[in-house]
Chains A and B, each alone.
Chain A
Amino acid sequence: MILFFIVFELSLAPMFLLVCNDGSRSRKLRAGYYLAIYTLISGITLTLGIISFFVETGFFNINYITFLGTSLQGKQDTI
């Protein structure tokens, strides 16, 4: 989950460069800033979710077996 968060935030950097450098029209810097702001705000909610998950269970790893007894795990419908 930590790795997902890190990679999620790192994916902003090449996208920002790609939009700001190779954009076609004059408003490309503004588009890059919109992209950065939206990604960072959604990153805040992801951080809150990870923190609340850690508070609830006490670990960061989503493993099907380790949190089988906690309140988060209900009846599993397999795909």
Chain B
Amino acid sequence: MEASTVGSVILAALMLKLGLYGIIRFNLPLVNSLLYFQPIAYSLGITSIFYASLVSIRQLDMKRIVAYSSIVHMNIAMLGLLSNTSQGKMGGVVLILSHGLVSALLFFLIGALYDRAQSKLIFYYSGLTAILPTFSTCLFLGSVANISFPLTFSFIGELLAFVGLFSSNSLLGIIVIMSSILSSISSM
């Protein structure tokens, strides 16, 4: 994560969605080939979710935590889209939209911290709420939205994607919910 703040925001909020746009536009109409490639896409998605969650747990850099959690979100959106149910597709689209807002917010906040203190390591910022109360409230709300807590926008998308995954393959849905809990540990 050596890119500038603006580069990270554009990369996370716009360019990550290029692949999912391609899936929505070009792969979802081809239902037969979609069903043919569904098992390998599910396996790759689950592997990627678990790997990115486990990596993001032990990161010290705040920007890396947001970046790895955005991998998890994009994979959940992809699994929801490829489940080929209407709830899953809707959840994938809502998750794309909410991730574009939330990750941009978090990258801007971390970039503002980095411009002032020249560090992104998370243990230097304990007790930040005594110095910057409004800022840390925004950071807390962004983290809460990033782990798809209820009452946030990304919860709607993630819930719909899980409903679509359950109606497609219930074992897969259980595994993905477990990994989503795992990925939310990293934001604590």
Contact = CB atoms under 8 A, between A and B. Distances in A.
B85 A77 contact: yes
Contact of A46 (B3, B22, B29): B22
Interface residues of A, number: 29
A69 interface: no
18 contacts: A1-B26, A4-B22, A4-B25, A8-B18, A8-B22, A11-B15, A11-B18, A19-B4, A24-B4, A24-B114, A31-B1, A62-B26, A74-B31, A74-B35, A76-B29, A77-B31, A77-B84, A79-B89
A78 B87 CA distance: 10
B86 interface: yes
Contact of B29 (A19, A27, A30, A62): A62
A15 interface: yes
Interface of B: 1-4, 6-7, 10-11, 15, 18-19, 22, 25-26, 29-33, 35, 84-86, 89-90, 114
A64 B30 CA distance: 9
Nearest to B22: A4
Given A74-B31, A78-B86, A15 B2 contact: no
B46 to A, nearest CB: 20
Given A42-B19, A71-B32, A76-B31, A18 B86 contact: no
A79 B86 contact: yes
Given A8-B22, A23-B4, A79-B86, 14 more contacts: A18-B7, A22-B4, A22-B6, A23-B3, A24-B114, A62-B25, A64-B29, A72-B33, A73-B31, A73-B32, A74-B31, A75-B31, A77-B84, A79-B89
